[in-house]
């Protein structure tokens, strides 16, 4: 049985690493990908997903050659999750970020604070917040465990 998964990640290297891991653990998964807040919102409207994997910080629009992708959204992934949750989804939501601290409009959050906030906001839909460090394998082990729990 296939699982529909939405992946929103603007960093091509990180997106490829996450995509490869998903395909390794869930070979029958059907992946739908976006690289910005706007394209992630559009993708979210297109179908119901079993799993949604979101980067926390995203550009507003897809980046084209020589363009910056519009206004940077430090909590773009969280904003997408809010939109999805308002529709009453049953999808599990996994956040993956390469930042350990976040700030926007004078408010600062540690990785742990953000995890608690996302857990509270997403409720039973929250699958976790994972720190991505391409030089270590701990992120892969953590994501792999969460993916296997979906089966």
Domain boundaries, the chain: 4-150
User: What's the rounded Cα separation, in Å, for the pair 3 and 53?
Assistant: 13
pLDDT of residue 106: 79
Does residue 60 contact residue 67 with C-beta atoms inside 8 Å? Answer: no
Does residue 148 contact residue 25 with C-beta atoms inside 8 Å? Answer: yes
Q: Looking at domain 4-150, does it have CATH number 1.10.540.10?
A: no
Nearest alpha-carbon partner for 102 in 71, 124, 77, 119: 77
Report mean pLDDT in 10-residue bins for the chain, 151 residues.
93 97 97 97 95 96 72 92 95 96 82 95 98 95 94 67
pLDDT of residue 66: 67
Query: What is the DSSP-derived secondary structure letter of residue 103?
Result: E
pTM of this prediction? Answer: 0.93
Listed in sequence order, the residues at least 6 apart from 69 whose beta carbon sits closer than 8 Å to its beta carbon are 10, 36, 59, 60, 61, 62, 63
């Amino acid at each position: 049985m296939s699982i529909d998964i939405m992946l929103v990640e603007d960093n091509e290297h990180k997106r490829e690493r996450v995509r490869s891991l998903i395909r390794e653990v869930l070979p029958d998964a059907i992946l739908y990908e976006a690289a910005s807040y706007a394209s992630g919102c559009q993708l979210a409207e297109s179908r119901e997903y079993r799993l949604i994997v979101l980067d926390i910080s995203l550009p507003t629009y897809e980046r084209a050659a020589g363009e910056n992708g519009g206004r940077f959204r430090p909590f773009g992934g969280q904003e997408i999750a809010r939109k999805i949750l308002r529709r009453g989804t049953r999808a599990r939501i996994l956040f993956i970020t390469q930042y350990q601290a976040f700030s926007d409009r004078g408010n600062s959050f540690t990785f742990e604070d953000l995890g608690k906030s996302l857990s509270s906001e997403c409720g039973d839909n929250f699958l976790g917040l994972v720190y991505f460090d391409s030089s270590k394998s701990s992120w892969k082990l953590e994501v792999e465990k969460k993916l296997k729990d979906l089966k």
